[in-house]
Structure 1
Amino acid sequence: MTGRLQGKVALITGTGGGQGRVAALRFAREGAIVVGCDVVAAGHEETAALMRSEGYRLYGSAPVDLGDHEQAKAWIDAAVAEHGRIDILYNNASSARFGPVSELSIEDWRYTMRNEIDLLFYTTKYAWQHLAEQRGVIINISSTAAWGGSKVAGISAHAAAKGAVIAFTRQLAVEGASVGIRAVSLSPGFIATPGTAPFLENPVVRAALLDGVLMDRPGEPEEVVAMALFVASSEASFITGSDFVIDGGLLAI
């Protein structure tokens, strides 16, 4: 049976764990050639080992700091040199720092902008022409933080950056339409990953994070990746410029 992404070259950032790891595995199972990267080499190699155990290969390299435009360009260029094309750019990787706005340091603000929005610009800029040649797809990961504040933690920088991701994606859809590029963003709510495990282990914090989530549980990475797979496929050929919220009903109230 032919996979939904058979023969497509998919570049996925942040493949060292969490949603990026799940995406790498799922996309490979659907026939894609997966090129990954991560700032943590060990995590990237763990994902590669998991993929090998299923008979797949994870291309790409680690460590790669996508917040450095030269490293982002080198990663894109290496993928094209090896595979000759880019069909899907899945901008999953991000990193933020938190704190009340009055206490958040300038360094932490700039760190968050660098690692949640700047890196998307770099990868998209350098992949753009290659995506245009294939009439490809850009998938950017935003967050429900773009749509509402939080009482749990100071998320001003994170919210600003993720709001920028959605706005950036819409503009990419406009600019991409004439060359056949689709651009879509996904806004997950609270998702259970290794990075969020400490929050889930604290009953008080867990309860606060799930307050208002109609399904009364965190989401799973697979539930986000399932939507990413759909929008990456030809089944979503009439979808561009949209943001899809995957939040267990948090924003319904």
Structure 2
Amino acid sequence: MTDLSGKIALISGTGGGMGRAAALEFARCGALVVGCDLNVDGAEETVELVTKEGGRMRSVQPVDLTSEDGVDRWVADAAGEYGKVDILYNNASVARVGPWDEMTYEKWRYSLTYELDIVYLSTKAAWPLLIAAGGGVVINVASVAAHVGAQFVHQHAHGAAKGGVLAFTKHLMISGAPHGIRAVSISPGLIVTPATQPVIDAIGPAGVEGMISNIPSRRLGKPEDVAGLAAFLASDAASYINGADIAIDGGIMAAD
């Protein structure tokens, strides 16, 4: 199992889906998790699940990651309790998808705010603590949509925002290197979560079947798939992986 013993890990969006899976996985690996979410009930339930397994997790909720005050409160909680931060996992995001002719400016701005701006704000707040710790890692969630056009789901704003995450990660790697801070990103394909379920439902059974037929691994992704990769990238075993984007998409991009 990946070893994160004693590491202090900030993970955003732990109220469900990939964030909950990450909180459970990081805690199993020995990390002390500090999560956050707007979803108060979901965030508290994740803490209970981690605790039942014998893990250690704190959570701050509700936290609006588009607010500097909200982000600062979350990061300050970790600093106040543990005195340092070793890992920042920018997992949280909310997208607006739909056909291009229905992509209003409001929807466009919403995606950029909740998928790109929140990565900037969280990283900016945690950065001094990562430096003070003598190094660490920032893991950002990008998307396959940042690399290729989607055939089954219209993702103009989502793809643009996640493309920004990809670029930001590479520049962050340069800024972090002198401080021993690594920056990496993960590009998932379609992962089945409560947030993506409405999109999957809209595609319909035939559409999903068609999508799966184009995935070499012949299935959609699970939150646990991404959580396991994130935990490895956060560990010292991945210390020479820096500035990279790792696709976790069942082979979609490799087969393109």
When the two structures are superposed, what TM-score results if normalisation uses the length of structure 2? 0.94
CA distance in 2, matches of 1:242, 1:115: 23
Q: Secondary structure of the equivalent of 2:140?
A: strand
**Separation of aligned partners in 1, 2:2 and 2:189:** 28
Kindly state the Cα deviation for residue 150 of structure 1 after the two structures are TM-superposed. 1.1
Return the offset for 1:151.
2.4
CA distance in 2, matches of 1:31, 1:177: 25
| Structure 1 spans left out of the alignment, 5+ residues | none
State the SS of the aligned residue for 2:102: coil
Q: Helix, strand or coil for the counterpart of 1:60?
A: strand
Partner amino acid, structure 1, of 2:163: G
What's the % identity of the aligned pairs?
Answer: 48
Q: Does 2:220 align with 1:218?
A: yes
> SS at 1:154's partner residue?
coil
Aligned equivalents of 1:44 and 1:239: distance in 2? 30
Q: Give the conservation status (yes or no) of the 8 Å contact 1:69–1:119.
A: no
Equivalent residue for 1:205? 207
Q: Which amino acid aligns with 1:80?
A: A
Task: Give the drift of 1:3.
Answer: 6.5
Q: Which residue of 1 aligns with 2:175?
A: 175
Tell me which amino acid in the other structure corresponds to 1:63: P
Distance in 1 (alpha carbons) for counterparts of 2:2 and 2:245: 25
| Structure 2 residue aligned with 1:130 | 129
Alignment-derived partner of residue 61 in structure 1: 60
Answer with 60-69 or 195-204: which moved more: 195-204
Deviation at 1:53?
Answer: 1.4
8 Å contact from structure 1 (residues 215, 249) kept in 2: yes
Q: Distance in 2 between matches of 1:32 and 1:58?
A: 9
Question: Which aligned pairs between 1:105-144 and structure 2 lie closer than 5 A?
Answer: 105-134=104-133, 135-144=135-144
Deviations along 1:140-165, whole A, 9 cap, x unmatched? 00110001111223211000001111
- Partners of 2:91 and 2:206 in 1: how far apart? 28
Question: Structure 2: which 5+ residue stretches go unaligned?
Answer: none
Which residue is 2:152 aligned to?
Answer: 152
Q: How many residues align?
A: 252
SS in 2 for 1:224: helix
Deviates more, 1:86-95 or 1:45-54: 45-54
1:186 CA drift (Å): 0.3
Is the 1:199–1:205 Cα contact (8 Å) retained in structure 2? no
Q: Deviations over 1:189-235 (max 9, x none)?
A: 11122223344453023124324211110011111111111110001
2:2 touches 2:235 (CA, 8 Å); kept in 1?
no
Does the Cα contact within 8 Å between 1:60 and 1:79 map onto a contact in 2? no
Secondary structure of the equivalent of 2:242? coil
Secondary structure at 1:90's aligned position in 2? Answer: strand
The 1:89–1:178 alpha-carbon spacing in structure 2 relative to 1, beyond 3 Å, is same
Residue 230 of structure 1 aligns to which amino acid in structure 2? F
For the residue of structure 2 that corresponds to 1:48, the secondary structure is: helix
C-alpha distance in structure 2 between counterparts of 1:207 and 1:240, whole Å: 36
Instruction: Write the letter of the residue equivalent to 2:50.
Output: M
Give the aligned residue type for 2:86. Answer: D
**Equivalent residue letter for 1:150:** A
**Residues in 2 aligned to 1:208 and 1:106: alpha-carbon distance in whole angstroms:** 31
Secondary structure of 2:84 counterpart: coil
Partner of 1:41: 40
Q: Hey, what's the Cα distance between the residues in 1 that align with 2:207 and 2:69?
A: 39
Aligned Cα RMSD in Å? 1.5
Asked if structure 2 preserves the Cα contact closer than 8 Å seen for 1:5 and 1:31, the reply is yes
| Kept after mapping to 1: 8 A contact 2:47/2:59 | no
Whether the 8 Å contact between 1:199 and 1:206 is mirrored in structure 2 is no
